[in-house]
Amino acid sequence: MTTLAVSRGKAYFRLAKLDIVDYYLGVVVVWTLLAPMSRFDPDVLATVGVFLLGEVFVIAAMVALDDLTGYRDGSDITNYSPDDARRKRYRKPLVAGTLNENQVLRFAWATGVVGAALWLAAIAMAPHRPVWTVVLIVVTYFFSLQYSWGVKLSYHGFQEFFIAALGWSLVLAPYGLATGEFTGFALAQALLFGLGPLLFGVYSNTNDVDGDRRVGRPTVAALTSARGNMFFVIGVSAAELALILAVPALGGPWWFPLALSPTIVSRGWQLWLGFAVGDILRARMLGIRIHRLTVLTLVLVNLVVIT
């Protein structure tokens, strides 16, 4: 393999953000939410596996289109300026010059088509196909590609909601295909899972506020004052805490809040680091780690409770 091919492959890998696995962890939560006899059922495993593969392609298309839009409107060039050593330009192939616009657009459409085909295959082979699940998958696919392209949801004030909603969908959809059910405990875990990406995304938005304001991308950080944005992030963190405390009433064990206490404590540290110390990018990185810790805790809780 030539050096050019290797370099091009790395550029596409970075374009697809394949090193950011946080949304893909939802299928692990789903698998542990299943009854023990279903966890190794060949039909269930095949369905969840094909759904996950489709998810990788759909998200690759979504983030490629997001990069293309961010490059064209200049926000990525601003946010990944050469004098900011902590924002690594090579993670944005268009900004770094390792891919051109036509290559990114072709990649986005190709991965979008493959992702659609795989999700259709997952629906066709699923043990269950409740209407709400099929509708959820169709809606998730449509709006994923419209996040920064077409109707540009993230440019019309829906960015924060979409980041969380995508996580909710990527737990509830495969759970519905595998079980045909909709339970309070599964819903609570889906909501917690979706809040994880949101609670590192809002710190990214806080850091990127100047570039987003310049191009009119209406994140909460761009629309409000620094103080207003801080209270918004505190509010989202408080909503996560309230949800954790409510899980026992939604079918979870009474000790669920105790199990999630590391997440609760870590959120306080994240807020202090981001808004008291003012180190937004460290707070963002901590948010990624908190999300993964939360997923691990959910998995362990499910393996104990669902036996």
pLDDT digits (tens, 9 = 90+) for 109-164: 999 999 999 999 999 999 999 999 999 999 999 999 999 898 888 888 889 999 99
Q: Is the pLDDT of residue 101 over 70?
A: yes
Q: Which homologous superfamily is 183-306 in?
A: UbiA prenyltransferase (1.20.120.1780)
Residue 95 token pair:
């900004």
Task: Specify the residue for token string 């939360």.
Answer: 294
Sorted by where each begins, the domain ranges of the chain are 22-180, 183-306
Q: Is the pLDDT of residue 241 over 90?
A: yes
* CB 65 within 8 Å of CB 145: yes
Q: Is the pLDDT of residue 1 over 70?
A: no
* More reliable by pLDDT, 226 or 87: 226
The percentage of residues in the chain with a pLDDT greater than 70, rounded to a whole number, is 95
**Gap between the Cα atoms of 208 and 70, Å rounded:** 12
Of residues 168, 186, 188, 167, the one with CA closest to residue 178: 186
Q: Which CATH number fits domain 22-180: 1.10.287, 3.40.30, 2.115.10, 1.10.357?
A: 1.10.357
pLDDT the model gives residue 217? 83
pLDDT the model gives residue 81? 57
